[in-house]
Amino acid sequence: MRLLVTGAAGFIGSHYVRTLLEGGYPGYEDADVTVIDNLTYAGNRANLPGSHERLTFVQADICDGDLLREVLPGHDAVVHFAAESHVDRSLRAASEFIRTNVAGTQSLLDACVTTGVQRVVHVSTDEVYGSIDQGSWTEASPLLPNSPYAASKAASDLVARSYWRTHGLDVSITRCSNNYGPYQHPEKLIPRFTTSLLQGRRLPLYGDGGNVREWLHVDDHCRAVQLVLTRGRAGEGYNVGGGCERTNRQLTELLLDLFAADWSSVEPVADRKGHDLRYALDDSKIREQLGYAPRITFEEGLPATVAWYRDHPDWWKPLVEENGDADE
Ligand code: NAD
């Protein structure tokens, strides 16, 4: 088995590849992995083993079709994580999001068709559905993205669907809620607040903190991606939820408690433009059809994640220097 994984120098893709190389996915203990990543500010080669007999790292852009057509032959499947992923950056400069997330996905799928690599998992997000005040989205809900990031991911989902429908590519789509865990860039909400608390800095909380997100540990997301890779159906999407809704205010309180800090450490800041109020997924499809269930509760995963950042200042301190704004 040979897998090609894009964007695996980033947060989620690196967790997936590390788990794969550690033998964490049954039946894939001997799988060889080729990673394609162009190492943007969000990519860090050190997130993966420096050398491993089953790992090949190729520093390249997924928009480079020639390179993809050179590298892809001989692979059995592609897991596509590569993306521009930070909502706030997409509000300031959207063009890179369209380039990588839309044109890059199209270039990758095109190269798969040309080289005969049939199986693809396209990793997407719940943000493609927009915002929902009550209830939850199923896979049949309309795509109503609100940020340029979400719009670029929704567009890539539609491109993926078209490559299934037009070219018969065996592509499945995952749409996951907010992830947290080790190795997440400190521009994102949980690491941003954690590293701020570790440095005695104040926490910039958007608006009244009433925005609701559903949190899932990265390890559970990656197991869901692996399930979809092995058992998901072509042309179908799979919601992957955390089942753990928290307002940003509640999340902030949990983090403050872990540091024995209080609300004087919080600095309310002007709300993000077009800030989605609530995301909520109905993930009964992947639970019922593929037997998925998250294993790590927020109560155990959050303190463990905070402990990881406490123990790894050498990893996050250089990134904080060039940090952006808080995000989820
Ligand atoms: P990340 O920003 O941490 O990592 C993205 C990786 O992609 C980086 O290593 C970067 O160098 C690479 N990359 C970017 N542009 C590239 C290009 N043109 N060519 C090659 N490589 C490129 O992102 P993440 O949080 O790990 O997210 C991974 C995927 O999961 C994304 O598709 C994202 O939309 C999706 N997702 C993320 C979350 C979340 O909470 N983080 C939730 C649901 C879905």
- Residue 80: per-residue pLDDT: 98
Q: From CA 169, how far away is CA 26, in angstroms rounded?
A: 25
When pLDDT is cut at 50, 70 and 90, the band that residue 275 belongs to is confident
Q: Which residues contact 220 (CB under 8 A, 6 or more apart)?
A: 240, 242, 294, 295, 296
SS3 120: strand
Least reliable range by pLDDT among 64-68, 152-156, 272-276, 291-295: 272-276
Q: How far is the CA of 38 from the centre of ligand 1 (A)?
A: 11
Same domain, 149 and 203: no
Is there a contact between 290 and 139 (Cβ–Cβ < 8 Å)? no
Whether residue 285 is contained in a domain is answered as no
Backbone φ and ψ for 303, nearest 5 degrees, come out as -60, -35
Ligand 1 pocket test: which of 11, 105, 286 has the largest number of ligand atoms within 8 Å of its C-beta?
11
- Residue 328: per-residue pLDDT: 44
Strand ranges across the sheet with 212-217: 178-180, 212-217, 245-247
First to last CA, the chain: 35
Same domain, 153 and 265: no
Same domain, 209 and 222: no
Two tokens, residue 247: 């307002």
Whether residue 279 is contained in a domain is answered as no
DSSP state of 13: H
Same domain, 27 and 83: yes
Strand duo 245-247 + 212-217: pairing: antiparallel
Same domain, 256 and 235: no
Domain that holds residue 192: 180-213+244-273+295-320
pLDDT over 50 (residue 98): yes
- Residue 315: per-residue pLDDT: 97
Same domain, 52 and 76: yes
Domains identified in the chain, total number: 2
179 CB less than 6 Å from ligand 1? yes
Q: From CA 54, how far away is CA 72, in angstroms rounded?
A: 16
- Residue 276: per-residue pLDDT: 87
Strand duo 2-6 + 77-80: pairing: parallel
When pLDDT is cut at 50, 70 and 90, the band that residue 193 belongs to is very high
Whether residue 278 is contained in a domain is answered as no
pLDDT over 90 (residue 321): no
Same domain, 209 and 225: no
Q: From CA 95, how far away is CA 104, in angstroms rounded?
A: 12
Q: Is 220 a catalytic residue?
A: no
Longest dimension (CA), the chain: 58
Out of 32, 61, 84, 126, which one is annotated catalytic? Answer: 126
Whether residue 307 is contained in a domain is answered as yes
Tell me which amino acid residue 267 is: E
Is there a contact between 187 and 327 (Cβ–Cβ < 8 Å)? yes
pLDDT over 50 (residue 327): no
Same domain, 65 and 93: yes
In this structure, what CATH number is given to the domain that contains residue 208? 3.90.25.10
Same domain, 196 and 313: yes
Same domain, 79 and 189: no
Q: For residue 176, which atom of ligand 1 is closest to its CA?
A: 43
- Residue 73: per-residue pLDDT: 98
Q: From CA 231, how far away is CA 117, in angstroms rounded?
A: 17
pLDDT tens digits along 237-248: 999 998 899 999
17 CB less than 6 Å from ligand 1? no
pLDDT tens digits along 69-89: 999 999 999 999 999 999 999
123 CB less than 6 Å from ligand 1? yes
What percent of the chain has pLDDT above 70? 98
In this structure, what CATH number is given to the domain that contains residue 144? 3.40.50.720
pLDDT over 70 (residue 190): yes
Beta strands in 126-180 (DSSP E): 170-176, 178-180
Q: Is 170 a catalytic residue?
A: no
- Backbone φ/ψ region at 130: left (φ over 0), alpha (ψ -120 to 50), beta: left
Mean pLDDT of 317-324: 83
Q: For residue 180, which atom of ligand 1 is closest to its CA?
A: 40
Q: Distance of CA 223 to CAs 152, 220, 294, Å?
A: 25, 5, 9
pLDDT over 70 (residue 120): yes
13 CB less than 6 Å from ligand 1? yes
Same domain, 232 and 308: no
Angle ∠(178,145,221) on CA atoms, nearest 5: 25
147 CB less than 6 Å from ligand 1? no
**Residue carrying the six token digits 């992923």:** 85
Average pLDDT taken over every residue of the chain: 96
Angle between helices 313-321 and 298-311 (to 10 degrees): 80
Whether residue 33 is contained in a domain is answered as yes
Q: Is 183 a catalytic residue?
A: no
- Residue 274: per-residue pLDDT: 84
Q: For residue 9, which atom of ligand 1 is closest to its CA?
A: 9
Whether residue 286 is contained in a domain is answered as no
153 CB less than 6 Å from ligand 1? yes
Whether residue 281 is contained in a domain is answered as no
Same domain, 28 and 142: yes
Ligand 1 pocket test: which of 12, 39, 80 has the largest number of ligand atoms within 8 Å of its C-beta?
12
Whether residue 162 is contained in a domain is answered as yes
H/E run at residue 110: helix 105-115
Tell me which amino acid residue 319 is: L
